[in-house]
């Protein structure tokens, strides 16, 4: 059949609407949301000092306060003072700015017993001595030293070792029984608790309630048993001292009544093996007493006079608390009274809505914990919202504020990961000195493909409270200890994870982590065996930095210098954003923010270059929450507009505030639905809310759109332009802007894994400068165009790479003014020399293996080689493991040397580029004995060797340091033999190409060196042609490939003098279904110049496969927006272990008949296919794949026809049909296999299309 229905509305349904508080309704708000709201910003003398101004000197050698820190794992106090001092000196030498002390249990006979722990445990006198030793050594090295709030997380102290200690974490449990109406019950209250109380724990009755079930058969219902709210009776007073209750139930035999008893009891979570008082109970995070348990213990046991003096001398130490990871339904003493005061009503008769609601307070369909009981008409959801809001309030008031006030009196600052519970993370982040996120919890857990948007939620708390630092625990990758790389353009490289955090507002990295060189008897756990301590063992989380186990450690000085420069830039002045996105969400779970409330990084806003972050209602209660000259928070993040998206609920006072903002000149864009109800148990305000919204819509400054793709145009009509506008819409580059002292700083991050080349228009006046964060050089950009208050520059970034640009009219020692125009050679009849491929190398390896003792730090170094290494026909070089058994499982440092001869034509070369292809892991390069400046480890294709080459014999030396994994795999006793072997070394291909010479130069560069072209498929290679001469040239490209490959290029292309043009080359495959082939491309200019480039074509039978993210097959922009952690391309990357997930974790956001989800492909040209396979998840998780969907095709992407209706189980399957020829394909999905109904999202592990 043929149908022309368009794609469904691609809304950002996840974005909550901006809440603000009006003074008109301040009193009612105090009884609604957090009455205390965001506290004032930290006092200036207690807040971590802002970074020093960026000058040429500070950029060349950044100060310690902006340098990365390391999480420093230690086996309690079972350490040596000299070793502690030596390790801090190591951190200084590698360019660190400080260390965060983090503890692990020490391995050894009896080390978990009280006798050992009474001496070496956390909080003992010896531990206080160790803190003094470390602080003294840190001060001597100019480093900061951060301490953790407890020995582990959640926080504990040795003084809370009784399950009934009121300072221990509490939870709410319930029991129940059903009775027919008109009957009598007597005896003890029911004891069938939903979760068992800990052994010996006291049970305190909170309430006993009786209520009639809406359905007489409620006793047999699995969940969400509706109760008649009007029949709820509080019978707590009738329970006698022995816990018994006699009760005459109303009604008749045809009715059913529930007796529900709620109790407060200890959570029961304990920690052992860290202190002599076993067990220590996790502390109450909702009571002041829980916070005081930590601060009192610190005062009594750790902060000795000597320690206090050293902290005062340091002035930069932070007290760290990790993310909240407590199970059970949170409660605390006095919770009912707090609820009554803060929300304006007693929750007692509404407590059934919390029964079985779970750790996150029963967020519908999002977290485990479907309510056992509920009320009709949405009352239960309103009550559960108020529970979460009260929990968030208590955490902020009784914990964060108490800890911060205490810390400020002791020369400490608080650094906290404010998420993991049902709290307002943005608000909470404003109540600490340094809020922190993490690549692991904000990622996919098996990699660090972390959600940039998560960081924005945390960062906004710092930005709007005035705190200058946002931290990131980076880069823990599950299963990659000893194997994490620095710069590979993969989801597991350290730099890409760091850069994602920076794109979300981070400006301080804490590396995870640096293990202490343990001592003890060999053979008692991984700490006592080579290579030594790591986090969780030798197949667990990365990394394990340090000279004791990391061949690339010596290269981290350059990495840390580079990151320090970026962090210096990202602390200049204040952040500036194009718009604010309101987010009112009280359920940030440990494994990342739900995309329901976030704008994906692949959105139309991001593609247009708009910068944004999130604000919560509490932040709008700050004194700075005002509009001046049409700008919201003009003295902080300076939002030029406000976005509301499908926001169906909103507090009344928020609506009043937004109306006030609009009237004062703030543009507001509304996407999708309008707020119609208020959150919380205040239904009487709904009618008033709708009246305010109606008035809001009558304001001239309000724009309403239906589709997310319309947002950029709507903002432009409102006069809001993107500060970093992309000339051609592309979501590859994410932008961060900082403004300081007449300078606009831009951080630009390519979050795609392939290179991107774009023209970007930056807001700012003056000259643009490129700040090279690898070398410390500040260089004016000569090739730019000025506009009204803007400059336009060309940006080229390798996959996952980032750079910094500054725009300023200043003329001083730092910004010295425009560069002279680039001079290109005068026209000449001669030609520059052709590129040279280096294929023959000599390799010597310093192999790292366990030393004779087998102890940590005892590393034997064995010289292997020299080994002759020769490239294959395509220039690829073999990995170490492919060079014979002597190098099969070797880790260490490899030195490659190549000697080659250049002819006399190189005499006039003034600039040449070295392309190393791929190297694992870190790289240093020397040319003719001279080491090059630090190399961008994510862009090894553009290494500038300047004029160091000469006619005659030349030598290039490449030093490649590996990870330690291959050696760890075969080391005795480490239990890592099941880890996959890594491919190390210089993998090439390696070429040298001139880019500047006395004679004109023409260069040709493939933007992607590897191109998938399936059997019967189509793709386009993108070739960058550069003309280094003083006259324009006309260049023609030709391409030849293997049999079955047809390639065509456009007609002659004009290349401006000194400029570059990207030229597409179309490639067709008519018969190669496996393997690889080579495509040779030649560019010929009218002046006789030539340039060549070879591409590798990869072949398969899958027309959808595109793991390299090349031009085609391209995912259609109309595809339902993905969660940042599970982007669209994971459905076509050829890996069953990864998967795409559409946004939505809340029930009802998944596909339906009325609002289907789609996944579409553009093959680039018509192709013929007759089967489509949708694969199920391979990780054993609940499958949320498509359940009901059609397979549609189109010739123009507008009119679609259905060719098949799919019918497969949850694991997926193949749908075959009569072959069709079409350019476009889509899945039109109306339901998924999600067990939660209605569905939350759709997930696709792998989409395959075959002939």
Q: What is the DSSP string of 1158-1177?
A: EEEEEEEEEEEEEEEEEEPP
Note the CATH number of domain 725-808: 2.60.40.1180
Q: Find the angle CA(990)-CA(992)-CA(997) to the nearest 5 degrees.
A: 170
Task: List C-alpha distances in Å: 187 to 82, 221, 242, 255, 1199.
Answer: 67, 25, 10, 22, 71
- Per the CB < 8 A criterion, the answer to whether 1066 and 1048 are in contact is yes
By DSSP bridging, strand 508-515 and strand 471-474 are parallel
Sheet holding 204-212, edge to edge: 233-234, 204-212, 256-266, 170-180, 330-331
- Per the CB < 8 A criterion, the answer to whether 962 and 894 are in contact is yes
Sign of CA dihedral 620, 624, 626, 629: negative
Distance CA 985, CA 978 (A): 22
The crossing angle, in degrees rounded to 10, of helices 686-697 and 652-663 is 20
Task: List C-alpha distances in Å: 1214 to 691, 1119, 1171.
Answer: 52, 21, 7
Q: What is the pLDDT of residue 364?
A: 43
What is the DSSP track for 911-933? Answer: EEEEE-BEEESEEEEEETTEEPS
Distance CA 1016, CA 970 (A): 44
- Looking up tokens 């967020």 gives 363
By DSSP bridging, strand 642-645 and strand 668-671 are parallel
Alpha carbons within 13 A on the beta-carbon side of 820: 2
SS3 460: helix
Tokens linked to 66? 């902006």
Nearest to 1042 by CA among 1020, 1017, 1024, 1067: 1067
Q: What is the pLDDT of residue 12?
A: 38
Nearest to 915 by CA among 836, 1032, 847: 836
Distance CA 532, CA 554 (A): 18
Tell me how far apart the 2 most distant CA atoms of the chain are, in Å. Answer: 109
- Looking up tokens 């014979």 gives 884
By DSSP bridging, strand 69-74 and strand 508-515 are parallel
What is the DSSP track for 533-588? Answer: --SSSTTSS----STTT-TTGGGHHHHHHHHHHHHHHTTSSEE--SEEEE------
What residues does 700 pair with on adjacent strands? none
Domain with CATH 2.60.120.260 in the chain: 1109-1250
Domain 833-904+911-970 CATH class label: mainly beta
Distance CA 104, CA 55 (A): 41
Sign of CA dihedral 193, 194, 197, 198: positive
Alpha carbons within 13 A on the beta-carbon side of 535: 22
SS (H, E, C) 1075-1112: CEEEEEEEEEECCCCEEEEEEEEECCCCCCCCCCCCCC
- Per the CB < 8 A criterion, the answer to whether 55 and 565 are in contact is no
Note the CATH number of domain 1109-1250: 2.60.120.260
Domain with CATH 2.60.40.1180 in the chain: 725-808
Distance CA 460, CA 504 (A): 10
Tokens linked to 597? 């409330």
Note the CATH number of domain 59-161+283-326+396-569: 3.20.20.70
Q: What is the pLDDT of residue 369?
A: 53
Q: Find the angle CA(10)-CA(14)-CA(17) to the nearest 5 degrees.
A: 110
Q: What is the pLDDT of residue 444?
A: 53
Following CA atoms 542, 548, 549, 553 in sequence, which dihedral angle do they give, to the nearest 10 degrees? Answer: 80
- Per the CB < 8 A criterion, the answer to whether 407 and 414 are in contact is yes
What is the DSSP track for 33-56? Answer: S-SS-SPPPPPTTTSPPPPPPP-H
Tokens linked to 653? 């006072």
Tokens linked to 971? 């080391």
Q: What is the pLDDT of residue 323?
A: 87
Following CA atoms 302, 308, 312, 317 in sequence, which dihedral angle do they give, to the nearest 10 degrees? Answer: 0
Report which DSSP code applies to 321.
E
What residues does 212 pair with on adjacent strands? 257
| Conformation bin of residue 440: beta by default, left when phi > 0, alpha when psi is -120 to 50 | alpha
Q: What is the pLDDT of residue 731?
A: 86
- 674 CB contacts (<8 Å, ≥6 apart)? 647, 648, 693, 697
Q: Using CB atoms within 10 A of its CB, is residue 464 exposed (0-12), middle (13-18) or buried (19+)?
A: buried
Assess whether the previous peptide bond of 989 is cis (omega < 30° from 0). yes
Distance CA 328, CA 278 (A): 22
Secondary structure E strands in 392-507: 413-416, 434-438, 471-474
Helix (H) or strand (E) holding 1064: strand 1060-1069
Distance CA 88, CA 1247 (A): 50
Distance CA 1122, CA 1066 (A): 29
- Per the CB < 8 A criterion, the answer to whether 829 and 794 are in contact is no
What residues does 248 pair with on adjacent strands? 184
- Per the CB < 8 A criterion, the answer to whether 656 and 631 are in contact is no
Rounded average pLDDT per 10-residue block, the chain, 1251 residues: 38 35 35 46 45 95 97 95 97 98 89 93 97 98 97 94 97 97 97 94 98 97 93 98 96 97 96 90 97 98 98 95 83 98 97 83 49 94 94 97 97 94 92 95 59 92 96 90 81 88 98 86 71 82 85 96 99 97 73 61 92 92 93 97 89 91 97 92 94 97 93 97 93 95 96 89 98 98 94 94 98 89 51 88 98 91 97 95 96 98 90 95 97 97 93 97 95 87 96 89 89 97 90 93 95 88 94 95 90 93 92 90 82 90 82 94 98 82 84 97 93 95 97 88 94 93
Task: List C-alpha distances in Å: 166 to 268, 777, 1162, 1233.
Answer: 12, 58, 62, 45
Q: What is the pLDDT of residue 161?
A: 96
By DSSP bridging, strand 1186-1194 and strand 1212-1232 are antiparallel
Tokens linked to 1242? 């759709």
Domain with CATH 3.20.20.70 in the chain: 59-161+283-326+396-569
What residues does 918 pair with on adjacent strands? 988
SS3 596: helix
Alpha carbons within 13 A on the beta-carbon side of 1055: 32
């Amino acid at each position: 059949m043929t149908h022309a229905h368009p794609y469904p509305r691609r809304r950002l349904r996840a974005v909550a609407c901006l809440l603000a508080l009006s003074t008109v309704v301040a009193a009612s708000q105090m009884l609604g949301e957090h009455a205390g709201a965001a506290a004032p910003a930290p006092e200036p003398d207690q807040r971590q000092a802002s970074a020093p101004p960026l000058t040429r000197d500070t950029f060349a050698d950044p100060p310690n306060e902006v340098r990365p820190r390391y999480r420093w794992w230690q086996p309690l106090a079972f350490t040596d003072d000299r070793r502690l001092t030596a390790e801090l000196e190591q951190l200084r030498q590698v360019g660190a700015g400080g260390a965060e002390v983090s503890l692990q249990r020490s391995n050894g006979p009896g080390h978990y017993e009280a006798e050992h722990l009474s001496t070496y445990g956390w909080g003992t006198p010896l531990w206080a001595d160790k803190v003094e030793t470390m602080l003294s050594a840190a001060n001597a090295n100019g480093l900061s030293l951060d301490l953790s709030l407890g020995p582990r997380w959640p926080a504990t102290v040795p003084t809370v070792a009784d399950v009934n200690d009121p300072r221990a974490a509490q939870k709410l449990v319930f029991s129940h029984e059903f009775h027919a109406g008109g009957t009598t019950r007597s005896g003890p209250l029911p004891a069938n608790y939903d979760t068992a109380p800990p052994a010996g724990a006291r049970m305190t009755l909170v309430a006993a309630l009786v209520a009639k079930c809406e359905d007489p058969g409620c006793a047999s219902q699995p969940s969400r048993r509706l109760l008649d709210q009007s029949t709820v009776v509080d019978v707590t007073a009738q329970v006698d001292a022995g816990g018994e209750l006699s009760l005459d139930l109303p009604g008749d035999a045809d009715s059913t009544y529930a007796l529900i008893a709620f109790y407060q009891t200890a959570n029961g979570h304990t920690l052992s093996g860290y202190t002599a008082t076993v067990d220590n109970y996790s502390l109450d995070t909702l009571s002041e007493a829980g916070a005081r348990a930590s601060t009192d213990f610190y005062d009594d046991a750790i902060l000795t006079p000597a320690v206090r003096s050293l902290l005062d001398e340091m002035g930069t130490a932070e007290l760290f608390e990790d993310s909240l990871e407590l199970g059970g339904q949170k409660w605390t003493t006095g919770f009912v009274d707090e609820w009554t005061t803060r929300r304006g009503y007693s929750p007692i008769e509404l407590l059934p809505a919390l029964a079985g609601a779970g750790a996150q307070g029963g967020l519908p369909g999002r977290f485990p914990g479907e309510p056992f009981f509920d009320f009709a008409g949405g009352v239960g959801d309103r009550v559960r919202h108020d529970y979460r809001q009260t929990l968030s309030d208590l955490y902020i008031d009784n914990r964060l504020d108490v800890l911060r006030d205490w810390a400020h009196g002791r020369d400490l600052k608080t650094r906290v990961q404010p998420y993991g519970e049902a709290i307002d993370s943005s608000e909470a982040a404003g109540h600490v000195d340094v809020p922190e996120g993490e690549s692991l919890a904000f990622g996919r857990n098996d990699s660090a493909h972390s959600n940039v948007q998560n960081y924005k939620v945390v960062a906004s708390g710092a930005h709007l409270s005035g705190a200058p630092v946002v931290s990131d625990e980076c880069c823990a990758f599950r299963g990659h200890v000893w194997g994490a790389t620095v710069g590979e353009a993969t989801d597991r490289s350290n730099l890409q994870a760091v850069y994602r955090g920076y794109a979300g507002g981070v400006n301080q990295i804490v590396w995870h982590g640096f293990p202490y060189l343990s001592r003890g008897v060999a053979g008692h756990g991984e700490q006592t065996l080579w290579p030594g301590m790591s986090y969780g063992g030798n197949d667990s989380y990365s990394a394990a930095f340090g000279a004791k186990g990391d061949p690339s450690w010596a290269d981290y000085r350059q990495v840390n210098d580079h990151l320090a420069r970026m962090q210096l830039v990202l602390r200049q002045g204040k952040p500036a954003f194009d718009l604010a996105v309101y987010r009112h969400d009280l359920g940030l779970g440990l494994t990342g923010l739900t995309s329901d409330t976030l704008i994906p990084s692949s959105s139309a806003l991001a593609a247009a270059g708009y910068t944004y972050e999130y604000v919560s209602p509490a932040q709008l209660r700050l004194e700075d929450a005002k509009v001046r000259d049409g700008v919201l928070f003009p003295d902080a993040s300076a939002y030029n507009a406000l976005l509301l998206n499908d926001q169906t609920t909103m507090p009344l006072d928020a609506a009043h505030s937004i109306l006030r903002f609009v009237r004062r000149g703030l543009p507001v864009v509304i996407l999708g639905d309008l707020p119609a109800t208020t959150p919380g148990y205040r239904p009487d305000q709904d009618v008033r809310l709708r009246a305010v919204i109606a008035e809001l819509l009558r304001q001239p400054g309000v724009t309403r759109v239906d589709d997310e793709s319309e947002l950029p145009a709507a903002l432009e009509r409102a006069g809001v332009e993107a500060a970093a506008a992309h000339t051609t819409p592309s979501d590859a580059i994410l932008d961060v802007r900082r403004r300081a002292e007449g300078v606009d700083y831009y951080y630009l991050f390519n979050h795609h894994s392939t290179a991107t080349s774009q023209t970007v228009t930056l807001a700012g006046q003056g000259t643009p400068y490129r700040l090279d964060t690898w070398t410390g050089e500040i260089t004016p950009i000569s090739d730019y165009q000025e506009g009204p208050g803007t400059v336009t520059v060309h940006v080229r970034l390798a996959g996952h790479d980032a750079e910094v640009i500054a725009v300023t009219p200043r003329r001083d020692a730092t910004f010295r003014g425009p560069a002279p125009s680039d001079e290109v050679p005068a026209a000449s009849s001669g030609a520059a020399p052709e590129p040279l491929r280096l294929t023959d190398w000599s390799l010597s390896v310093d192999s790292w293996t366990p030393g004779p003792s087998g102890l940590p730090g005892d590393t034997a170094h064995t010289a292997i080689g020299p080994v002759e290494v020769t490239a294959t026909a395509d220039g690829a070089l073999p990995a170490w493991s492919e060079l014979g058994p002597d190098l099969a499982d070797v880790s260490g440092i490899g030195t490659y040397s190549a000697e080659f001869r250049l002819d006399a034509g190189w005499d006039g070369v003034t600039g040449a580029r070295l392309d190393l292809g791929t190297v694992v892991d870190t790289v240093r390069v020397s040319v003719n004995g001279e080491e090059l400046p630090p190399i961008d480890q994510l862009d090894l294709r553009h290494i500038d060797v300047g004029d160091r080459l000469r006619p005659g014999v030349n030598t290039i030396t490449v030093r490649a340091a590996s990870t330690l994994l291959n050696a760890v795999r075969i080391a005795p006793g480490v239990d890592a033999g099941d880890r996959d072997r890594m491919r190390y070394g210089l993998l090439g291909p390696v070429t040298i190409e001139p880019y500047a010479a006395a004679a004109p130069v023409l260069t040709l560069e493939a933007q992607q060196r590897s191109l998938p072209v399936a059997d019967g498929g189509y793709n386009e290679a993108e070739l960058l042609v550069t003309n280094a001469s003083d006259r324009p040239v006309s260049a023609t490209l030709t391409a030849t490939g293997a049999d079955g490959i047809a390639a065509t290029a456009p007609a002659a292309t004009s290349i401006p003098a000194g400029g570059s043009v990207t030229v597409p080359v179309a490639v067709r495959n008519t018969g190669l279904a496996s393997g690889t082939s080579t495509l040779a491309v030649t560019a010929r200019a009218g002046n006789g110049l030539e340039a060549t480039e070879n591409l590798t074509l990869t072949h398969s039978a899958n027309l959808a496969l595109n793991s390299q993210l090349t031009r085609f097959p391209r995912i259609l922009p109309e595809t339902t927006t993905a969660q940042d952690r599970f982007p669209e391309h994971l459905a076509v990357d050829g890996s069953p272990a990864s998967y795409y997930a559409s946004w939505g974790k809340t029930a009802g956001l998944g596909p339906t008949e009325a609002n289907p989800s789609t996944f579409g492909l553009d093959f680039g040209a018509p192709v013929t296919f007759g089967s489509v396979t949708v694969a199920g998840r391979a990780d054993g998780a609940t499958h949320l794949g498509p359940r009901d969907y059609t397979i549609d095709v189109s010739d123009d992407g507008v009119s679609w026809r259905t060719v098949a209706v799919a019918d497969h189980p949850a694991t997926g399957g193949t749908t075959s049909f009569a072959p069709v020829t079409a350019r476009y394909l889509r899945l039109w999905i109306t339901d998924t296999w999600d067990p939660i109904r209605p569905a939350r999202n759709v997930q696709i592990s792998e989409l395959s299309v075959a002939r």
